[in-house]
Structure 1
Amino acid sequence: MPKRTLVLLEGSTRVNGLLFVQAAKRLGLHPITLSADPAQYDYLAAERFETIRVDTGNPNALIRECLRLSANYDIVGVTSPLEAFYAIAGKLCRYFDLPGPDPASIERCRDKYAQRQLLAKAGVPMPDYRVAANAAEIESAASEIGWPVVVKPTVGNCSRGVRLCRTVRELTEHTTYLLGGKHIWQSTPNIVLVEEFAQGPQYIVHIMGNEVVAIAAAKFGRPPHFVFRKCIFPAPLTDDEHERIADVSLSCLRALGLGWGPINIELRWTKLGPVVIEVNPRIAGAPDSQLGQLAYGVDLVAEHIKLVTGEICNLHKIRSHTAAAAFLIPDCDGTVDWIDGVSRAAAMPGIAEVKLLIEPKMRIVRKGDDRDGIGWVIASSPSLDQTEAILQDAVDLIHWSITPFSILGRHE
């Protein structure tokens, strides 16, 4: 009998890809990753997961490869851990009559300008915004909205190319970065979104289908960048706050034609209440799935895979704990000398994971986005206060040394 196979388009260099193949194996599936460069995902070779090199940006090439595979495998689902390939995965699902998201809705949602227009039409609360294609338009938009403003590409994720600009000088610097050839664009033409800076606590809403599974609290590091420093499941909210955030989130799904599979929505609670920052038509990046599993016993990655393979997902919460992650962020660029305290932190009661993404001799070059994180620590317990205390004690045990490039000089 042919193996029941899950086809994954690309993987992830930051854990989520590994979670997908591991969850597929636990569900009795045979995962096959199609990638333009399988070697970039270390876990695939280390765990001997099957991979095939193919142009994943070419839907016709993917169809041909899946047709070839179907001669020996029973392909029961197609998906991707990466947002950039989620719409293409949806197209393959349509072609092979498999469960999957509406690719047109995914593509509209990924374009933040199109997303903003649809949300505005539906009356969803969100920051004031303008779209711009050149430096003059960007500066004009900032002046109309009022300082400070957030400037970002219309297509992208993980805070890449996103910056808070408080002055004309900062705006000019970021405009030069975005339009001067340094930023890697995911869209053509290169269109910029200029937005009002919504001030207030940050929340992330995790949805599967039309059900709000969790609302998490998130904290960023120092501006002008938006680099996560902490995430807490569940967010400490009143019943009224939870209901208002959930209602706004579900109104986003209706406005954008979503409602199948995983969605995560970023909001801020302002003086006007919940304001939508952006809707992401995908499962959230690591370690959010691990936090949801620790807090509620719900494995969002596994439940997502159940959906794409035609099974019934189970979002029933079997526990009520608090789980939190602290992200480890370096304070300079340079070469890693040493790391200490990881094993002691990992051995602490209540610590679920200590994940390091660096090792000695590795070069650190901060980007001002999610790539700045060099690891995280996850703690879980029955209460928020206890979880935060455990987490801080573990983080305090971890130390590292980075020799800045400016000291290394010509010897670097």
Structure 2
Amino acid sequence: MIDTLLINTVSTDPIESLETDPEIRLTVLTHPEYAHHYRPDTPVLLVDDVTDLHQVRNTVVELIRTRPIDHVVAPSERGLQPAGYLRSFLGLPGTGYDTANRFSNKYAMKRALAAAGLPVAPFAPLGSLADLPRRATELGWPVVVKPVIGAAARDTHVLADPAAFTELLSSPHAAGLRDCRYPLILERFVDVEAEFHCDGVVSDGVVRFASVSRYVLPPLVRRGRIAGSYTLPADSPELAPIAELHRAAVVALGLRDGVTHLEVLRTGAGFLIGEISARPGAGGIGEMVRLRHGVDLWQALIDVSVGREPACTSTDSGDVVIACMLPARPGRVEYVTPAAALAALPGVVGVRGLVEPGAVVPDESSSGIYAGVVFLRAPTEAAVPAKIAALERAFTLNVSPAKAA
């Protein structure tokens, strides 16, 4: 048996596969509010914060007094740092802390990418918000400020000029940056013509599979609108350069085995790497890739994490697959278009995670808040806008005021 520790919070995608894998004996490390996701017979260790490396270390050291750990699986952004730390601290195989840090700490990541000659927007470390005007003047306004560790565009702000910075400081949104326990990073804001992502599987240092998709809307502007992405057709001229940026980024950051999610910006001057992570993309990306290519990124993550060869041979469906994230608004859900009605729309092949009446949608500034994901097939890239427009007309979400949980 492979004694495996899963460090997880919000990601439910790999749970069933891990719990039913006949070769894996699973133990879970999570927060109390996520313990209900697991079977009663799955051992679950609870911590206040999986990103607290000392708390995680102490908890796992107690665990291994009675139960060995052979491998660590981290399916979401919050688990990358503690998983890498545990592998290094305990001498376990897999991605160690230095590499995990380069894939999760945006400043360390950008330094490594820039040192390898890969295209990134100008950036600078930011010790405190008080330093922002000076640093922004050096980089050139407008700028983007965010924590060096984080996901789903949380606490990410675009500032056009010093007046916008002053306005941010006087708003409640500044609290997330002031209270953040991580350093901040400042980047020059660039005019983006289009944004893409590349999702890959790496084994023994070689990219074994890569899928390139285009975002419907950039993550920073999609709140309140149907968002998501679609797989590019096989003849797209953007496939090859983005796949090459992905390969080069994997080499520059030193990943030997893992699943990756790279974000790429197309500007008037060419492509820029936004960021890359060593975990599958969220928002239905894994299912979108499976529908198009037949490759299960979540299973591949499990396999490479426990030392098995990943199955990543692509069987291209030949069409364009779209993952649409339905917009959510803060409040208590009073009505939502039923899943059956959405599934009956032309081209729809799946509806997942649809919010239910009575649920409370939190008021968070995050691209990770949405009402569900709808998967569609389109014959060509040109047909994508019409498919999304039809879904937008069919979808209704009514909410009433409620304090976010």
Q: Report the TM-score, using the length of structure 2 for normalisation.
A: 0.84
Measure, in 1, the Cα distance between the counterparts of 2:279 and 2:178.
21
Query: What SS does the corresponding residue of 1:142 show, helix, strand or coil?
Result: helix
Query: What SS does the corresponding residue of 1:244 show, helix, strand or coil?
Result: helix
Measure, in 2, the Cα distance between the counterparts of 1:238 and 1:273.
19
Equivalence for 2:45: 53
Measure, in 1, the Cα distance between the counterparts of 2:378 and 2:309.
29
Using the TM superposition, give the Cα deviation of residue 145 of structure 1 relative to its aligned residue in structure 2, in angstroms. 3.1
Using the TM superposition, give the Cα deviation of residue 285 of structure 1 relative to its aligned residue in structure 2, in angstroms. 1.6
CA separation of 1:145 and 1:219: change in aligned 2, threshold 3 A = farther
* One-letter code aligned to 1:6: T
Equivalence for 1:81: 75
Would you say 1:230 and 2:227 are equivalent positions?
Answer: yes
Query: What SS does the corresponding residue of 1:258 show, helix, strand or coil?
Result: coil
CA separation of 1:226 and 1:196: change in aligned 2, threshold 3 A = farther
Equivalence for 2:96: 102
Structure 1: any 5+ residue segments left out of the alignment? none
Using the TM superposition, give the Cα deviation of residue 27 of structure 1 relative to its aligned residue in structure 2, in angstroms. 4.1
Paired residues of 2:261 and 2:279 also in contact (CA < 8 A): yes
Would you say 1:64 and 2:62 are equivalent positions?
Answer: yes
Equivalence for 1:137: 131
Would you say 1:174 and 2:194 are equivalent positions?
Answer: no
Paired residues of 1:221 and 1:228 also in contact (CA < 8 A): no
Equivalence for 1:327: 325
CA separation of 1:227 and 1:280: change in aligned 2, threshold 3 A = farther
Once superposed, what is the RMSD of the aligned Cα atoms?
Answer: 3.1
Of the candidates 6, 14, 35, which is equivalent to residue 4 of structure 2? 6
Measure, in 1, the Cα distance between the counterparts of 2:274 and 2:334.
38
* One-letter code aligned to 1:277: G
Of the candidates 342, 348, 352, which is equivalent to residue 351 of structure 1? 348
Paired residues of 2:123 and 2:188 also in contact (CA < 8 A): yes
Measure, in 1, the Cα distance between the counterparts of 2:72 and 2:235.
39
Would you say 1:200 and 2:193 are equivalent positions?
Answer: yes
Paired residues of 2:18 and 2:26 also in contact (CA < 8 A): no
Paired residues of 1:379 and 1:387 also in contact (CA < 8 A): no
Query: What SS does the corresponding residue of 1:393 show, helix, strand or coil?
Result: helix
Measure, in 1, the Cα distance between the counterparts of 2:167 and 2:357.
33
Paired residues of 1:297 and 1:319 also in contact (CA < 8 A): yes
Of the candidates 106, 109, 114, which is equivalent to residue 112 of structure 1? 106
CA separation of 1:287 and 1:293: change in aligned 2, threshold 3 A = same
Would you say 1:297 and 2:291 are equivalent positions?
Answer: no
Query: What SS does the corresponding residue of 2:216 show, helix, strand or coil?
Result: strand
Deviations 1:83-122 (A, max 9, x none): 2222332344456665411321111332212222222222
| Aligned residues between the structures | 392
Superposed, 1:347-386 pairs within 5 Å as 347-348=344-345, 350-380=347-377, 383-385=380-382
Paired residues of 1:161 and 1:178 also in contact (CA < 8 A): no
Equivalence for 2:311: 314
Measure, in 2, the Cα distance between the counterparts of 1:199 and 1:266.
12
Would you say 1:400 and 2:397 are equivalent positions?
Answer: yes
Pick which of 219-228 and 209-218 moved more.
219-228
Paired residues of 1:34 and 1:52 also in contact (CA < 8 A): yes
* One-letter code aligned to 1:64: E
Query: What SS does the corresponding residue of 2:72 show, helix, strand or coil?
Result: strand
Measure, in 2, the Cα distance between the counterparts of 1:185 and 1:258.
31
Structure 2: any 5+ residue segments left out of the alignment? none
Measure, in 1, the Cα distance between the counterparts of 2:257 and 2:327.
34
Deviations 1:116-145 (A, max 9, x none): 222222211111222222344211232333
Equivalence for 1:18: 12
Equivalence for 1:261: 258
Measure, in 2, the Cα distance between the counterparts of 1:186 and 1:273.
33
Measure, in 2, the Cα distance between the counterparts of 1:99 and 1:342.
43
Equivalence for 1:127: 121
Measure, in 2, the Cα distance between the counterparts of 1:145 and 1:291.
37
* One-letter code aligned to 1:352: V
Query: What SS does the corresponding residue of 2:363 show, helix, strand or coil?
Result: coil
Measure, in 2, the Cα distance between the counterparts of 1:222 and 1:77.
33
Would you say 1:90 and 2:84 are equivalent positions?
Answer: yes
CA separation of 1:205 and 1:329: change in aligned 2, threshold 3 A = same
Paired residues of 2:200 and 2:260 also in contact (CA < 8 A): yes
Measure, in 1, the Cα distance between the counterparts of 2:235 and 2:269.
16
Query: What SS does the corresponding residue of 2:13 show, helix, strand or coil?
Result: helix
CA separation of 1:186 and 1:317: change in aligned 2, threshold 3 A = farther
